[in-house]
């Protein structure tokens, strides 16, 4: 005859096996094999591409027109100089536009005139395509959008500063 504690041990041992039916439920996921770890794949960090190699020549034409509202002559000259400096420092943005256009057409060249109106704090008030003799709308749109990526300096005085910037593109 068995003792009550032995009977209880037997019941505790057999009950879980009977409840499971000896097999895992149908929607159960098998555990990974030893040495196998099921980890989600890590996303690679997004890194902005480095500037393309010298993709043609990108420059501002000397025919740049400027003006300012409520701005002294000296402040207008300083704003013009600062605009050219910011453009030169940000040429990589324009080259990112021009490089694919040169791949499509190695002789692609022309001028894209863009009017940029800056507010007192250096933010863009208005950005408009004035004219383009480049027959590539993707390139033209990209060049206009590239002006938004530049960081302009605050104006010394005046409320607005307007510049029509002729961006000259040539393959050599």
pLDDT tens for 143-154 read 999 999 999 999
How is residue 78 written in tokens? 């300083």
The mean per-residue pLDDT over the stretch 24-41 comes to 55
Angle at 169 between CA 168 and CA 172, to 5 degrees: 125
pTM assigned to the model? 0.67
Share the mean pLDDT of the chain: 80
Region of poorest pLDDT, from 5-19, 50-64, 130-144: 5-19
Going from N- to C-terminal start, the domains of the chain cover 57-170
Across 13-22, 62-71, 75-84, the highest mean pLDDT is recorded for 75-84
pLDDT at 105: 94
List residues bridging with 67 in a β-sheet.
162
Which of 5 and 83 is assigned the larger pLDDT? 83
For 80-122, write each residue's pLDDT tens digit: 999 999 999 999 999 999 999 999 999 999 999 999 999 999 9
| Longest alpha-carbon distance in the chain | 114
Distance of CA 152 to the CA centre of its chain: 18
Q: Is the pLDDT of residue 127 over 90?
A: yes
Looking at 21-90, list the stretches that DSSP marks H as alpha helix, in order from N- to C-terminal side.
73-89
Q: Is the pLDDT of residue 58 over 80?
A: yes
How is residue 90 written in tokens? 């940000």
The domain made up of 57-170 is a member of CATH 3.30.1150.10: yes
Q: Is the pLDDT of residue 8 over 50?
A: no
pLDDT at 3: 53
pLDDT at 51: 46
Strand-strand pairing, 110-119 and 65-69 = unpaired
């Amino acid at each position: 005859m068995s003792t009550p504690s032995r009977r209880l041990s037997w019941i505790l041992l057999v009950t879980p096996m009977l409840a499971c039916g000896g097999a895992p439920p149908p929607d159960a996921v098998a555990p990974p094999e030893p040495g196998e770890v099921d980890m989600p794949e890590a996303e690679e960090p997004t890194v902005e591409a480095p500037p393309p190699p010298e993709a043609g020549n990108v420059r501002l034409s000397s025919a740049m027109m400027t003006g300012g509202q409520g701005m002294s002559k000296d402040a207008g000259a300083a704003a013009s100089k600062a605009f050219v400096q910011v453009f030169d420092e940000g040429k990589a943005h324009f080259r990112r536009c021009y490089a694919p256009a040169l791949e499509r057409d190695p002789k692609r060249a022309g001028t894209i005139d863009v009017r940029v109106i800056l507010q007192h704090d250096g933010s863009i008030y208005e950005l408009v395509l004035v004219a383009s003799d480049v027959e590539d709308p993707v390139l033209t749109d990209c060049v206009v959008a590239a002006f938004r990526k530049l960081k302009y300096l605050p104006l010394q005085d005046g409320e607005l500063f307007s510049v029509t910037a002729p961006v000259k593109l040539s393959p050599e």
